[in-house]
Structure 1
Amino acid sequence: MSPRGSQRRTPRASATRGYGVTRWGRAFVDVVEGVHTGDADRRRITQARRYFRDHHAERLRIGAARVTASVRGSQLDPFEVTLTMRPVDPATVVTLLRSGDATGDLMALTRGEQPSALGELVLPTESADIAADCTCPDESPRCIHVLCVAYETAAEIDRSAATLLAVMGTDTAQLLAAANETESAGDTTASAGDAAVPTVDYYGTNAVLPPLPTPPRLNPIMELDADALRAALRTSGIAPADIGEAIDLLDDLYDRIRDRPVS
């Protein structure tokens, strides 16, 4: 009879999977990965990407400011992961959108878009906004299993912008309701906001220029056509069984180039 350990389900093969390919998905990943700086951390990230690609995360559930999943790791039983976010307040988000004359972002959201002003108000901005817990023995702030679940979450955000709202403790209906509740006070808020904004004279000696845009952090490796990338690697002489590892190495190399300090 086969030993119990030999009955473990092995990861199923899959084509290259992507995550963080949209602005909101990438911003979420950046915050989760923000505590990783050393070589050991990079190894965790590389392994977590492999776990994500091979579907190690199962039973992913996204609730109000809470994400849970089971991740198959090095032991027989899967590890249980919980991500708990610092929730946003819908009324505050709507008020800030009004003050920035960006309430149109709510309608853009209903069309499946990822509007920038709303994203700045809803997305987590620092590591403390996301608390992580895993049943594995790794005591690092973000273990392999936590990272894997974060990548799965980012992939869901890529597929649906509304998923980010659930991750951060709200939803489209709550934001629209908050907008309707404050509609009567919207004109007063807007007037006060207009009075507080200084007049800009772009042609005078005291011209105030708008801030430069912040480009989204992109991951070219994840955005490449998966089939074309695999075909190119096979052409270069890499064995089919080693293509997944080669993609991870390319991804890690790009991270090192991108994060290299400018002298």
Structure 2
Amino acid sequence: MATQKTWWGLAFIDSLTNFIDSGRLQRGRAYRTDHRILAFEINKNKIKATIRGNVNPYFGVTKEPKYKVTLSLKSIDKKRWTDIINQICQNPSWISKLMLNEIPANIEQVFTGDSFLPTSFNDVTADCSCPDYANPCKHIAGVYYRLADILDYDPMLLFQLKGLSAAELQTALKKTELGQLFAEHLDTQVYTEISTHQYKYVPLITKKTVNRSKNVALDNSLQSNHRVKAFWQMSDWPEKEVELEEQTISAPLIKKQGDYPAFWTRSNSFVAAMEEIYSNVRKKNKKVLG
């Protein structure tokens, strides 16, 4: 059963099954967790991991082993990346999705002659220090699944693993006219005015203040009673007396997190959940927010 939440996470695993036995690959699913992976480091297109093995006295393994896994994806040549980027920048839909941290479903068609996803053993170099000489062993397979999990919330990592950093990709996209406009849109701040309170100020009436101004004491008392009554009844108040505080909300920041950011452990979309929350808040506070 697949554990990936995005189509590109699923596509990464599916692409591996084109040249790796699916049964052997699935053995690694249990080795993708923090319990098994003691260390995990990504540097450009290379991954280094330390995997916790099993104690097995039958095979003479009496002490918990720790296996070293190294894995790398074949990089695409820089000159070839220039051609690929030029083709990507001709498609407005691809530009907008990539700048929102999403991978377009049909983007692989511009990688003619190269592979965006691994399609054969020529695209991947993997090694493990365990005694299982088959490729992949369950520890290497665990690293594949961990990568797929990371791609769910960081899809731009796939570009890095193929030789183009996310920063280089964004820079190239922003050089286009559409990319510039879209970048400005993402940086736009959304302002909203939120009232700090919904009642009038009620002054404190003491004996000292009454004695200080006996002539107006009764009038002040009546006004105060009226204000206290208005407070408890939460009646409408004059707009001019409402103190407003300007707050900034970066709406595009929500979408830039993607559907499955690293902190989001639920199976439903983060963006969809936020949209529902904001919709409910706006309906509930329609009078205040407008």
The answer to whether the Cα contact below 8 Å between 2:25 and 2:141 also exists between their aligned partners in 1 is yes
Tell me the SS of whatever aligns to 2:35: coil
SS in 1 for 2:102: coil
Query: 1:160 aligns to what?
Result: 154
Measured in 2, the distance between the counterparts of 1:117 and 1:163 equals: 18
1:97 Cα deviation (Å)?
A: 4.9
Cα shift at 1:110? 2.2
Number of equivalent positions: 166
1:119–1:19 distance in 2 versus 1, CA, 3 Å:
farther
Is the alpha carbon distance of 1:131 and 1:31 closer, same or farther for their aligned partners in structure 2, counting shifts above 3 Å? Answer: farther
* Conserved 8 A contact 1:86-1:168: yes
Amino acid at match of 2:7: R
Q: Distance in 1 between matches of 2:121 and 2:92?
A: 28
Partner of 1:113: 102
Q: Distance in 2 between matches of 1:131 and 1:48?
A: 17
Q: Is 1:150 equivalent to 2:139 in the alignment?
A: no
Measured in 2, the distance between the counterparts of 1:148 and 1:126 equals 18
Could you state the TM-score of these two structures normalised by the residue count of structure 2? 0.49
Counterpart contact for 2:16–2:119, Cα < 8 Å: no
Who is 1:51 aligned against?
31
**Offset of 1:20 from its aligned partner?**
3.1
1:87 matched to 2:114? The reply is: no
- Matched to 2:74, the amino acid is R
Structure 1 residues 103 and 32, CA, compared in 2 at 3 Å: closer, same or farther?
Answer: same
SS of 1:116's equivalent in the other structure is coil
Cα distance in structure 2, aligned partners of 1:129 and 1:86: 5
Report deviation, 1:173: 2.1
Aligned to 2:4: 20
Equivalent residue of 1:124, what SS?
A: coil
Match of 1:252 in 2: none
2:160 is paired with a residue of what secondary structure?
helix
1:136 correspondence with 2:153: no
Residue 112 of structure 1 aligns to a residue in which SS? coil
Structure 2 CA distance for partners of 1:46 and 1:95, relative to 1, 3 Å: closer
Report 1:222-261 matches (<5 A).
none
- 148-157 or 66-75, which moves further after superposition? 66-75
- Output the CA distance in 2 between the equivalents of 1:138 and 1:80: 13
Amino acid at match of 2:83: T
Question: Corresponding residue for 2:40?
Answer: 60
CA 1:61 to 1:167, structure 2 compared with 1: closer, same or farther past 3 Å?
same
Task: Note closer, same or farther for the CA distance 1:225–1:116 as it changes in structure 2 (3 Å cut).
Answer: closer
Q: Tell me, in whole angstroms, the C-alpha distance in 2 between the residues paired with 1:131 and 1:56.
A: 21
Percent of aligned positions with the same letter in both sequences? 26
* Residue 211 of structure 1: aligned partner: none
Equivalent in the alignment of 2:16: 32
Give how far 1:92 is off: 2.6
Equivalent residue for 1:173, pick from 167, 171, 175:
167
How far off is 1:95 after superposition? 2.2
CA distance in 1, matches of 2:136, 2:66: 17
What letter matches 2:154 in structure 1? Answer: S
How far apart, in 2, do the equivalents of 1:131 and 1:141 lie?
10
Checking the alignment, whether the CA contact within 8 Å between 2:101 and 2:155 is kept in structure 1 is yes
Select between 85-94 and 75-84 the one with higher mean Cα deviation: 85-94
Give the C-alpha shift of residue 108 in structure 1.
Answer: 1.8
The C-alpha deviation readout for 1:173-219, integer Å capped at 9, x for no partner, is: 222445678x7xxxxxxxxxxxxxxxxxxxxxxxxxxxxxxxxxxxx
Displacement of 1:138 in angstroms is 0.9
Q: Tell me, which stretches of 5 or more residues in structure 2 are unaligned?
A: 56-63, 177-265, 269-290
